[in-house]
């Protein structure tokens, strides 16, 4: 955050260019006094293209929080991989919601303490013999969110409230035949389906909470493509087709061009390559895993993915693969909130 880091400067340049009123940052390291986020917000407020985010919401979730248990089932408890969510330390690779408009902090809800078994119709990992993969003491303690699930109301200048529903589920890989991460990813996405259906859950303050908003936007890196990749598809299909959700199916010219840059997995993908939001290695291929999904109650005036083709005026802002700002691209949606 010193103003010299190439990745930070590339991220700042994209945010200042696209200029979202509300922004979810994924994999942003949190600290207990928000020093990093304050420095980042300060960087965004510099220069001719300065943009200021006066309001933010970034409680720490499960990332890097020790469980003291053997969550990955390898026989060794309390290792790095046994944190409730992947992370090198508490707050590592967390989330931050930034807003130009006020956030109703009293009404904001976080569900990081929710247990996996609290979901309806829960599917837990089993071993090759079909028996429970995790012991009972681990199952009862296993938290659903690898980061957290947030429901954060933003109050617009005209008084209208739009709730930001944010999450960053675990990647559905890095496991074995038990498919622990695949099932957890599906469950983390499935939480939103249950929540929108009116199921009541206990939030982190101990309040029994059910969804009661009319307008919302669901944001996050869901780590799941509806057509391609290893993830379970039950949850993502149910979310994208939910009657309360509008899917703008954002796309870009850059994603279309990138899908033809290399061979490998991209040639076997069945999804629309123009809707890809991440550029992974050729053996994995590019996919649509990042989402900005408004409620059906809101009017969409425009939407897209900031992934300009390399031969366009903004093409220099996107580097191939993992260089530059990120191998994930910013997904955006413009809404009429009247």
Facing residues of 91 across strands?
none
User: Using 50, 70 and 90 to split pLDDT, how confident is the model at 128?
Assistant: very high
How far is CA 112 from its chain centroid? 14
pLDDT average, residue stretch 56-68: 96
Cα–Cα distance for residue pair 280/320, rounded to 1 Å: 10
Output the six-digit token pair for 103. Answer: 């956030």
How does the average pLDDT of the chain come out, rounded? Answer: 95
Q: How far apart are CA 169 and CA 121, in angstroms?
A: 18
Question: Exposure string (b/e) for 239-260, b if CB count within 10 Å is 16 or more?
Answer: bbebebbbbbebbbbbbbbbbe
291 DSSP β-pair partners: 220
Indicate the fold that domain 6-336 takes in CATH. Deoxyribonuclease I; Chain A (3.60.10)
Does 129 have pLDDT greater than 90?
Answer: yes
What confidence category does residue 320 fall into, taking pLDDT thresholds of 50, 70 and 90? Answer: low
Which tens digit of pLDDT belongs to each residue from 164-193?
Answer: 999 999 999 999 999 999 999 999 999 999
- Give per-residue pLDDT as tens, 241-262: 999 999 999 999 999 999 988 7
Say how many C-beta atoms besides its own lie within 10 A of residue 314's C-beta.
15
Decide if pLDDT at 322 tops 60.
no
5: which residues sit within 8 A by CB, 6+ positions away? Answer: none
Residue 196: which pLDDT band, with cuts at 50, 70 and 90? very high
CA distances from 53 to 16, 41, 133, 214, 326 (A): 11, 7, 45, 25, 21
- For the chain, give every domain's residue range: 6-336
**pLDDT tens per residue across span 280-313:** 998 999 999 999 999 999 999 999 999 999 999 9
Q: What is the pTM of this model?
A: 0.96
Confidence label for 321 from pLDDT (cuts 50, 70 and 90): low
Cα angle value 335/336/338 (rounded, 5°):
145
Report the chain's C-alpha Rg in angstroms.
20
Q: Under a CB-based contact definition with an 8 Å cutoff, are residues 269 and 228 in contact?
A: yes
**Residue 253: what pLDDT?**
96
pLDDT tops 80 at residue 36: yes
């Amino acid at each position: 955050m010193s103003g010299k880091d190439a990745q930070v400067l590339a991220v700042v340049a994209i945010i200042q260019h696209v200029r979202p009123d509300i922004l979810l940052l994924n994999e942003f390291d949190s600290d207990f006094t928000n020093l990093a986020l304050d420095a980042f917000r300060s960087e965004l407020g510099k220069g001719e293209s300065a943009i200021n985010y006066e309001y933010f919401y970034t409680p720490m979730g499960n990332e890097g929080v020790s469980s003291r248990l053997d969550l990955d089932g390898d026989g060794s408890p309390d290792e790095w991989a046994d944190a409730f969510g992947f992370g090198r330390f508490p707050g590592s690779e967390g989330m931050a919601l930034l807003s130009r408009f006020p956030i109703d902090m009293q009404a904001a809800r976080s569900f990081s303490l929710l247990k996996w078994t609290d979901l309806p119709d829960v599917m837990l990992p089993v071993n090759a013999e079909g028996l429970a993969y995790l012991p009972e003491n681990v199952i009862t303690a296993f938290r659903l969110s690898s980061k957290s699930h947030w429901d954060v109301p933003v109050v617009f200048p005209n008084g209208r409230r739009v709730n930001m529903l944010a999450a960053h589920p675990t990647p559905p890989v890095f496991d074995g035949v038990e498919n622990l991460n695949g099932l957890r990813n599906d469950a983390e996405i499935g939480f939103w389906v249950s929540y929108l259906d009116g199921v009541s859950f206990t939030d982190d303050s101990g309040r029994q909470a059910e969804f009661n908003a009319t307008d919302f936007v669901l944001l996050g890196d869901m780590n799941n493509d509806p057509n391609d990749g290893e993830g379970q598809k039950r949850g993502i299909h149910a979310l994208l087709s939910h009657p309360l959700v509008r899917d703008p199916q954002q796309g870009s010219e850059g994603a279309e061009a990138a899908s033809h840059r290399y061979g490998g997995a991209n040639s076997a993908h069945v999804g629309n390559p123009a809707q890809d939001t991440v550029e992974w290695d050729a053996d994995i291929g590019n996919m649509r895993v990042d989402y900005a999904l408004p409620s059906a109650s809101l009017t969409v005036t425009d939407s897209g993915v900031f992934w300009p083709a390399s031969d366009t005026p903004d093409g220099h802002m996107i580097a191939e693969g993992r260089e530059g700002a990120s191998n994930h691209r910013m997904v955006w949606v413009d809404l009429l909130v009247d």
